[in-house]
Amino acid sequence: MLFDLPAPMLAKAVGAIPDPARHPGGLLFEPKWDGFRVLAAWDGTDVELGSRGAKPLTRYFPELVEALPRLLPRPAIIDGEIVVATGPAGSRRLDWEALSQRIHPAASRVALLSEQTPAMIVAFDLLRDGDEDLTALPFRERRERLLALLASAPDPLHVTRATTDAAAAADWLSRFEGAGLDGVVAKPLDDSYQPGKRAMLKIKHARTADVVALGYRVHASGSGVGSILVGLYGEDGLLRQVGGVSAFTNARRQELVDELEPLVERDAEGQLVRAEGERSRFSGSKDVSFVPLRPERVLEVRYDQLEGLRFRHTVQFERWRPDRDPRSCTYEQLEHVPRFDLDDVLEG
């Protein structure tokens, strides 16, 4: 690869749609795509799909590696998101589970999934156009160059829709969640590209739910509570794990050991019972065991969205709810999001 990929520019969370008038030069609002962040580069010979982290994505998306040289009119580095959409025409939505399954060690499985659940790139910035490095240009100019470069590019390349209207962005925040998107991003139009810096603003959905504490994982240090596993009761009466709460301070981790002690399951000899947690393709050899708790204590958590029967991201502890009966913690309390066709987001 002839190009060096920079670290992607990041975003910091804010609680509401920001006022463009408070930002010299204005803001451009975009839907927040829920996928794998990618810097997609084609140098005229090779394609590289660089992730936000250290893991390259190139080998997992052969359909994108094939498409970029065919669809790009010249070498480029595109900043965007790899997403997978599923569902019937007129009711498609982003599918995080289908996307996460694409990260598989077997080449044969990768090839099969590239046909069964093909991915696409939704582009939102252009860092290089041919021989020209664009990162020093203001975002408004990089956006114009991106539109010119991909003006006629078909699927699987798309340019995200965008607006300078804060009211339209607020409408997107409400409606586009039904297509699997998870918020809105605001970008200063006069800013250069700032690798690794949180120079953008993101507004995500935030809700609360009452959940049951069903276990905890010991912190990686070997001392204290690293995360509390939480669950909800389904219509069948079964308690299902739906996610975890973490990000406790050192002092709080130790306090939680004592607070949760009365609920800890122990064997006949008084020893802690250990259970094996759910393992995913991302956990590898990581210890996923946990200490089970009797499902008697309720806590309120903040979450952004549900993916299937689980919270999409780690949730945040809000408060204990001693007034709540654990059996009342069901999926019915969660907000129902009206479905929205992803194609209307892509083509708008």
- Give, as one character, the DSSP assignment of residue 29: E
**Which residue, 152, 171, 204, sits at the end of a domain?**
204
**Sign (positive/negative) of CA torsion 110, 122, 171, 188?**
positive
Which residue, 156, 188, 204, sits at the end of a domain?
204
Q: Verify that 213 and 301 share a domain, yes or no.
A: yes
Contacts of residue 15, Cβ cutoff 8 Å, sequence gap at least 6: 203, 206
Q: What is the span of the domain harbouring residue 230?
A: 207-333
Determine phi and psi for 88, rounding to 5 degrees: -70, 160
Alpha helices in the chain (DSSP H): 62-71, 96-100, 107-116, 139-149, 166-175, 250-260, 342-346
156 cis-preceded (ω within 30 degrees of 0) = yes
In a domain, 75, yes or no: yes
Residue 49, judged by CB atoms within 10 A of its CB (0-12, 13-18, 19+), counts as buried
Strand partners, 302: 208, 316
For residue 121, which of 199, 40, 198 has the smallest C-alpha distance?
40
d(CA 124, CA 137): 15
Structure confidence at residue 232 (pLDDT): 94
Q: What are phi and psi of 304, to 5 degrees?
A: -100, -45
Q: Residue 126 forms beta bridges with which residues?
A: 78
Number of domains comprising the chain:
2
pLDDT by residue for the chain (348 residues), tens only, comes to 788 899 899 998 888 999 999 998 999 999 999 888 999 999 999 999 998 765 689 999 999 999 999 999 999 999 999 999 999 988 899 998 899 889 888 999 999 999 999 999 999 999 999 999 999 999 999 999 999 999 889 999 999 999 999 999 999 998 998 888 889 999 999 999 999 898 999 998 777 888 999 999 999 888 899 999 999 999 999 999 999 998 899 999 999 999 999 999 877 776 666 776 554 444 444 566 889 999 999 998 988 888 878 888 888 998 888 777 898 888 888 766 777 888 888 876
pLDDT confidence of residue 53: 64
Same domain, 176 and 54: yes
Predicted confidence at residue 220, as pLDDT, reads: 87
Tell me if 338 is assigned to some domain.
no
Query: Given this model, what pLDDT does residue 107 score?
Result: 95
- Whether 344 maps to a domain, the answer reads no
* Domain shared by 171 and 213, yes or no: no
- Give yes or no for a contact between 337 and 173, defined as CB atoms under 8 angstroms apart: no
Q: Are 95 and 120 in contact (CB under 8 A)?
A: no
Position 128 in a domain: yes
Pair 198, 79 in one domain: yes
Of the candidates 38, 40, 5, 32, which has an alpha carbon nearest to the alpha carbon of residue 201?
32
CATH code, domain with 175: 3.30.470.30
Confirm whether 202 is a catalytic residue: no
Do 18 and 154 belong together in one domain? yes
32, 187, 202, 204: the active-site residue: 32
Are 191 and 266 found together in one domain?
no
Q: Which residues pair with 121 in a beta bridge?
A: 82, 157
pLDDT of residue 322: 76
Residue after which a domain boundary falls, among 167, 184, 204: 204
Which CA distances in Å does 187 have to 139, 170, 192, 212?
A: 8, 15, 10, 38
Examine residue 5 and state whether it is found in any structural domain, yes or no: no
**3-class secondary-structure state, position 328:** helix
Q: Are residues 167 and 239 in the same domain?
A: no
Q: Are residues 111 and 217 in the same domain?
A: no
Q: Is residue 345 part of a domain?
A: no
Mark whether 241 and 302 lie in a shared domain. Answer: yes
DSSP codes of every residue in 282-293: TTTT---EEEEB
152 lies in the same domain as 230: no
Report the predicted TM-score, pTM, of the whole model to 2 decimal places.
Answer: 0.74
In a domain, 346, yes or no: no
Please indicate, yes or no, whether residues 232 and 90 belong to a single structural domain of this protein: no
1 inside domain = no
Helices (H) and strands (E) in the chain, counts: 7, 20
DSSP sequence for 151-168: TT--TTEEEPP-BS-HHH
| Amino acid symbol at 297 | R
**138 and 156 inside one domain:** yes
